[in-house]
Chains A and B, each alone.
Chain A
Amino acid sequence: DIVMTQSPESLAVSLGERATVNCKSSRSVFSYSNNNNYLAWYQQKPGQPPKLLIYWASTRESGVPDRFSGSGSGTDFTLTISSLQAEDVAVYYCQQYLSTPPWTFGQGTKVEIK
């Protein structure tokens, strides 16, 4: 199984500042068949189910604000919130969908306001 490891476990960022969440996979999730990274990011606010933010490592889901961006390739990926808003307080998870089953998630990164 591909193991997904996120860092940091938590971070506190001032409103309007940049937040960066890292995700590392134990094996590459890049596919040469279609030149895509099989990685998604989800946001989970307290008491709510996860919500899809990004897929193919960098494609924003419809309706997701453009302050959210994804980057990276192979085994190392980053979710960036360019200007943190109060409503972005949540736990963020990365997920790989290349080598399935199983679909595997990172342990989550909690983003808070400083």
Chain B
Amino acid sequence: QVQLVQSGAELMKPGASVKVSCQASGYTFTNNVIHWVRQAPGQSLEWMGWVIASNGKTQYSRKFQGRVIISRDAPARTVYMELSSLRPDDTARYYCARGVGVSTFLWFDSWGQGTLVTVS
């Protein structure tokens, strides 16, 4: 079955950078897009960006452009999300999610367990 397993919780200082990983299994890694979505405490879901697993192409939300880098290591079946210049309001749980669709990117059909990033 499809599984996305994320790295553990992080406690960061303001101004620092954090890098969260997401390892995929149970499907052909290069067939899908991986998205990153964050959820601040008690809040809704906010899309941050995606990476095409086959070629590494990325696209980011305007809100995070310049502060986020999403990358992938195809042989390791792992995707990374690095967020820099952290602020306290970046405190959130960060999720990776598998996107459905190849030429057109659609819904998200499988999610990682989430990684809590606390900035304080």
Residues of A within 8 A of B (CB): 38, 40, 42, 49-52, 55, 61, 93, 95, 97, 100-108
Contacts and interface: CB of A to CB of B under 8 A. Distances in A.
Given A38-B106, A97-B105, A104 B47 contact: yes
DSSP majority for the B interface?
strand
Interface of B: 35, 44-47, 49-50, 59-62, 95, 97, 100, 105-114
Nearest to A59: B107
Nearest to A106: B44
23 contacts: A38-B106, A42-B45, A42-B108, A49-B114, A50-B45, A50-B95, A50-B97, A52-B107, A52-B108, A52-B109, A52-B110, A55-B107, A95-B45, A97-B106, A100-B105, A101-B59, A102-B47, A102-B61, A104-B47, A105-B45, A105-B46, A105-B47, A108-B44
